[in-house]
Chains A and B, each alone.
Chain A
Amino acid sequence: MAKKRVVQTTINGDAVEFLCEPRQTLLEVLRDVLNLTGTKEGCANGNCGSCTVLMNGRPVTSCLVLGVEAEGAEIRTIEGVACGGHLDCVQQAFLEGAALQCGICTPGFIMQTEALLAENPQPTEEQVRFHLAGNLCRCTGYDKIVRAVLAAAEKKRANV
Protein backbone atom coordinates (compact mmCIF):
# COMPACT_ATOMS: atom_id res chain seq x y z
CA MET A 1 0.00 0.00 0.00
CA ALA A 2 1.51 3.34 -1.09
CA LYS A 3 2.07 6.06 1.47
CA LYS A 4 -0.70 8.57 1.85
CA ARG A 5 -0.17 11.99 0.31
CA VAL A 6 -1.07 15.32 1.83
CA VAL A 7 -3.32 17.27 -0.51
CA GLN A 8 -4.13 20.96 -0.15
CA THR A 9 -7.17 22.21 -1.94
CA THR A 10 -10.15 24.52 -1.69
CA ILE A 11 -13.61 23.04 -1.23
CA ASN A 12 -16.69 25.24 -1.37
CA GLY A 13 -14.50 28.25 -0.74
CA ASP A 14 -12.70 26.83 2.31
CA ALA A 15 -9.03 25.80 2.43
CA VAL A 16 -8.94 22.07 3.11
CA GLU A 17 -6.07 19.71 3.72
CA PHE A 18 -6.54 15.93 3.59
CA LEU A 19 -4.59 12.69 3.44
CA CYS A 20 -5.29 10.12 0.78
CA GLU A 21 -3.74 7.14 -0.99
CA PRO A 22 -2.86 7.78 -4.62
CA ARG A 23 -5.43 5.19 -5.72
CA GLN A 24 -8.38 6.88 -3.99
CA THR A 25 -10.71 8.83 -6.24
CA LEU A 26 -11.90 12.34 -5.46
CA LEU A 27 -15.37 10.83 -4.96
CA GLU A 28 -14.06 8.48 -2.31
CA VAL A 29 -12.14 11.30 -0.61
CA LEU A 30 -15.18 13.57 -0.51
CA ARG A 31 -17.46 10.86 0.87
CA ASP A 32 -15.26 8.73 3.11
CA VAL A 33 -12.45 11.07 4.16
CA LEU A 34 -14.14 14.47 4.30
CA ASN A 35 -17.66 13.25 5.18
CA LEU A 36 -19.19 15.28 2.34
CA THR A 37 -21.69 12.58 1.39
CA GLY A 38 -23.92 14.77 -0.76
CA THR A 39 -22.01 13.66 -3.87
CA LYS A 40 -23.21 10.17 -4.80
CA GLU A 41 -21.76 7.07 -6.43
CA GLY A 42 -23.94 5.42 -9.07
CA CYS A 43 -21.53 3.55 -11.29
CA ALA A 44 -17.90 4.42 -10.47
CA ASN A 45 -16.97 4.68 -14.14
CA GLY A 46 -18.19 8.04 -15.29
CA ASN A 47 -21.44 6.99 -16.94
CA CYS A 48 -24.21 8.28 -14.72
CA GLY A 49 -23.18 11.75 -13.53
CA SER A 50 -24.31 11.27 -9.92
CA CYS A 51 -20.82 12.14 -8.72
CA THR A 52 -20.61 15.44 -10.63
CA VAL A 53 -18.70 18.22 -8.87
CA LEU A 54 -17.17 21.41 -10.25
CA MET A 55 -13.38 21.48 -10.50
CA ASN A 56 -12.02 24.90 -11.36
CA GLY A 57 -15.48 25.72 -12.66
CA ARG A 58 -15.74 22.69 -14.95
CA PRO A 59 -18.13 19.83 -14.22
CA VAL A 60 -16.26 16.55 -13.72
CA THR A 61 -17.29 13.04 -12.72
CA SER A 62 -15.40 12.79 -9.45
CA CYS A 63 -15.26 8.99 -9.71
CA LEU A 64 -12.80 9.47 -12.56
CA VAL A 65 -10.66 12.10 -10.82
CA LEU A 66 -7.98 11.04 -8.36
CA GLY A 67 -7.97 12.65 -4.93
CA VAL A 68 -4.39 13.81 -5.47
CA GLU A 69 -5.49 15.72 -8.57
CA ALA A 70 -7.40 18.11 -6.30
CA GLU A 71 -4.09 19.68 -5.25
CA GLY A 72 -4.36 23.42 -5.77
CA ALA A 73 -7.79 23.18 -7.37
CA GLU A 74 -11.08 24.84 -6.48
CA ILE A 75 -13.70 22.21 -5.88
CA ARG A 76 -17.41 22.94 -5.52
CA THR A 77 -19.84 20.30 -4.31
CA ILE A 78 -23.57 20.23 -3.64
CA GLU A 79 -22.89 21.19 -0.04
CA GLY A 80 -21.58 24.55 -1.25
CA VAL A 81 -24.49 25.57 -3.44
CA ALA A 82 -26.86 27.00 -0.85
CA CYS A 83 -25.50 30.29 0.47
CA GLY A 84 -25.65 30.82 4.21
CA GLY A 85 -28.58 28.43 4.47
CA HIS A 86 -30.48 30.00 1.56
CA LEU A 87 -31.24 27.82 -1.42
CA ASP A 88 -30.13 29.14 -4.76
CA CYS A 89 -32.38 29.50 -7.83
CA VAL A 90 -31.61 26.07 -9.20
CA GLN A 91 -32.33 24.29 -5.91
CA GLN A 92 -35.52 26.31 -5.46
CA ALA A 93 -36.66 25.54 -9.01
CA PHE A 94 -36.10 21.81 -8.52
CA LEU A 95 -38.24 21.90 -5.38
CA GLU A 96 -41.06 23.97 -6.80
CA GLY A 97 -41.08 22.03 -10.05
CA ALA A 98 -41.09 18.61 -8.36
CA ALA A 99 -37.97 17.81 -10.38
CA LEU A 100 -36.93 15.00 -8.10
CA GLN A 101 -38.49 11.78 -6.85
CA CYS A 102 -35.92 9.62 -5.10
CA GLY A 103 -33.38 12.44 -5.21
CA ILE A 104 -30.23 10.36 -5.69
CA CYS A 105 -29.37 12.00 -9.01
CA THR A 106 -30.34 15.48 -7.84
CA PRO A 107 -26.97 16.69 -6.52
CA GLY A 108 -25.31 15.71 -9.80
CA PHE A 109 -27.99 17.44 -11.85
CA ILE A 110 -27.77 20.58 -9.76
CA MET A 111 -23.99 20.79 -10.14
CA GLN A 112 -24.19 20.20 -13.88
CA THR A 113 -26.92 22.84 -14.12
CA GLU A 114 -24.84 25.37 -12.20
CA ALA A 115 -22.05 24.85 -14.75
CA LEU A 116 -24.47 25.09 -17.68
CA LEU A 117 -26.06 28.34 -16.54
CA ALA A 118 -22.69 29.91 -15.77
CA GLU A 119 -21.65 29.22 -19.34
CA ASN A 120 -25.01 29.79 -21.05
CA PRO A 121 -27.50 31.89 -19.08
CA GLN A 122 -30.25 31.52 -21.68
CA PRO A 123 -30.25 27.94 -22.88
CA THR A 124 -32.92 26.50 -25.15
CA GLU A 125 -34.63 23.24 -24.22
CA GLU A 126 -32.41 21.43 -26.71
CA GLN A 127 -29.28 22.93 -25.18
CA VAL A 128 -30.42 22.00 -21.69
CA ARG A 129 -31.04 18.40 -22.77
CA PHE A 130 -27.70 18.22 -24.55
CA HIS A 131 -25.76 19.55 -21.59
CA LEU A 132 -27.49 17.31 -19.08
CA ALA A 133 -27.30 14.16 -21.21
CA GLY A 134 -24.46 12.84 -19.07
CA ASN A 135 -26.67 12.77 -15.97
CA LEU A 136 -28.94 9.77 -15.67
CA CYS A 137 -32.26 9.90 -13.87
CA ARG A 138 -34.45 6.84 -13.67
CA CYS A 139 -37.40 8.23 -11.73
CA THR A 140 -38.61 11.40 -13.42
CA GLY A 141 -38.35 10.82 -17.15
CA TYR A 142 -36.49 14.17 -17.19
CA ASP A 143 -39.55 16.29 -18.09
CA LYS A 144 -39.74 18.18 -14.80
CA ILE A 145 -35.95 18.42 -14.51
CA VAL A 146 -35.68 20.20 -17.86
CA ARG A 147 -38.56 22.49 -16.96
CA ALA A 148 -36.91 23.32 -13.62
CA VAL A 149 -33.62 24.18 -15.29
CA LEU A 150 -35.38 26.48 -17.76
CA ALA A 151 -37.31 28.09 -14.90
CA ALA A 152 -34.11 28.57 -12.89
CA ALA A 153 -32.44 30.20 -15.89
CA GLU A 154 -35.31 32.61 -16.24
CA LYS A 155 -35.31 33.40 -12.54
CA LYS A 156 -31.57 34.03 -12.58
CA ARG A 157 -31.91 36.42 -15.49
CA ALA A 158 -34.73 38.24 -13.72
CA ASN A 159 -32.68 38.65 -10.56
CA VAL A 160 -29.55 39.96 -12.21
Chain B
Amino acid sequence: MPRLFIPPSLRALTGGVEVVSVTGATVREALQSLERQHPGFEARFCDGGKLRPGMTIAVNNRFAPDGLRTAVSPDDEIHFLPALGGG
Protein backbone atom coordinates (compact mmCIF):
# COMPACT_ATOMS: atom_id res chain seq x y z
CA MET B 1 0.00 0.00 0.00
CA PRO B 2 1.29 3.49 -0.74
CA ARG B 3 2.54 5.43 2.25
CA LEU B 4 1.65 9.06 2.84
CA PHE B 5 4.13 11.11 4.89
CA ILE B 6 2.48 13.57 7.24
CA PRO B 7 4.06 17.06 7.36
CA PRO B 8 5.47 17.63 10.87
CA SER B 9 3.27 20.65 11.61
CA LEU B 10 0.17 18.49 11.06
CA ARG B 11 1.18 15.40 13.05
CA ALA B 12 -1.01 16.59 15.90
CA LEU B 13 -3.97 15.58 13.71
CA THR B 14 -2.71 11.99 13.52
CA GLY B 15 -1.78 11.72 17.16
CA GLY B 16 1.87 11.97 16.26
CA VAL B 17 1.88 9.31 13.52
CA GLU B 18 4.43 10.27 10.85
CA VAL B 19 3.58 7.85 8.04
CA VAL B 20 0.12 6.55 7.18
CA SER B 21 -0.61 3.59 4.91
CA VAL B 22 -3.28 4.54 2.39
CA THR B 23 -5.18 2.96 -0.47
CA GLY B 24 -5.66 4.41 -3.91
CA ALA B 25 -4.28 4.56 -7.41
CA THR B 26 -3.82 8.33 -7.50
CA VAL B 27 -2.70 10.94 -5.00
CA ARG B 28 -6.28 12.19 -4.78
CA GLU B 29 -7.53 8.73 -3.81
CA ALA B 30 -4.68 8.39 -1.32
CA LEU B 31 -5.70 11.69 0.29
CA GLN B 32 -9.30 10.52 0.52
CA SER B 33 -8.05 7.36 2.19
CA LEU B 34 -6.09 9.48 4.68
CA GLU B 35 -9.17 11.60 5.31
CA ARG B 36 -11.17 8.52 6.25
CA GLN B 37 -8.51 7.52 8.79
CA HIS B 38 -7.73 11.01 10.11
CA PRO B 39 -10.39 13.60 9.26
CA GLY B 40 -9.33 17.16 8.58
CA PHE B 41 -6.46 16.66 6.13
CA GLU B 42 -8.21 17.15 2.84
CA ALA B 43 -9.14 20.71 3.75
CA ARG B 44 -5.55 21.48 4.65
CA PHE B 45 -4.10 20.17 1.40
CA CYS B 46 -6.86 20.99 -1.04
CA ASP B 47 -8.97 23.93 -1.97
CA GLY B 48 -11.78 23.57 -4.48
CA GLY B 49 -10.62 20.13 -5.58
CA LYS B 50 -7.06 21.29 -6.34
CA LEU B 51 -3.90 21.31 -4.35
CA ARG B 52 -3.53 24.45 -2.21
CA PRO B 53 -1.30 27.15 -3.67
CA GLY B 54 2.23 27.08 -2.32
CA MET B 55 2.28 23.29 -2.02
CA THR B 56 3.58 20.60 -4.29
CA ILE B 57 3.58 16.81 -4.27
CA ALA B 58 6.53 14.46 -4.60
CA VAL B 59 5.99 10.79 -5.32
CA ASN B 60 9.09 9.02 -4.07
CA ASN B 61 11.77 11.57 -4.93
CA ARG B 62 10.33 13.18 -8.02
CA PHE B 63 8.04 16.19 -8.02
CA ALA B 64 4.70 15.17 -9.49
CA PRO B 65 3.70 17.35 -12.45
CA ASP B 66 0.10 16.08 -12.51
CA GLY B 67 -0.63 17.07 -8.93
CA LEU B 68 -3.54 15.19 -7.38
CA ARG B 69 -4.00 13.16 -10.58
CA THR B 70 -0.55 11.60 -10.30
CA ALA B 71 -0.67 7.84 -10.31
CA VAL B 72 0.75 5.96 -7.33
CA SER B 73 1.84 2.37 -7.06
CA PRO B 74 1.71 0.18 -3.97
CA ASP B 75 5.36 0.77 -3.05
CA ASP B 76 5.30 4.52 -3.51
CA GLU B 77 5.82 7.24 -0.92
CA ILE B 78 3.77 10.44 -1.13
CA HIS B 79 5.23 13.66 0.24
CA PHE B 80 3.59 17.09 0.53
CA LEU B 81 6.20 19.82 0.22
CA PRO B 82 6.45 23.57 -0.21
CA ALA B 83 6.33 24.56 -3.87
CA LEU B 84 9.67 25.69 -5.15
CA GLY B 85 10.76 27.71 -8.12
CA GLY B 86 14.16 28.12 -9.58
CA GLY B 87 16.07 31.14 -10.71
Taking the complex as a whole, does A directly touch B, i.e. does some CB pair lie under 8 Å apart? Answer: no
B residues within 8 Å of A by Cβ? none
Q: Name A residues whose Cβ lies closer than 8 Å to a Cβ of B.
A: none
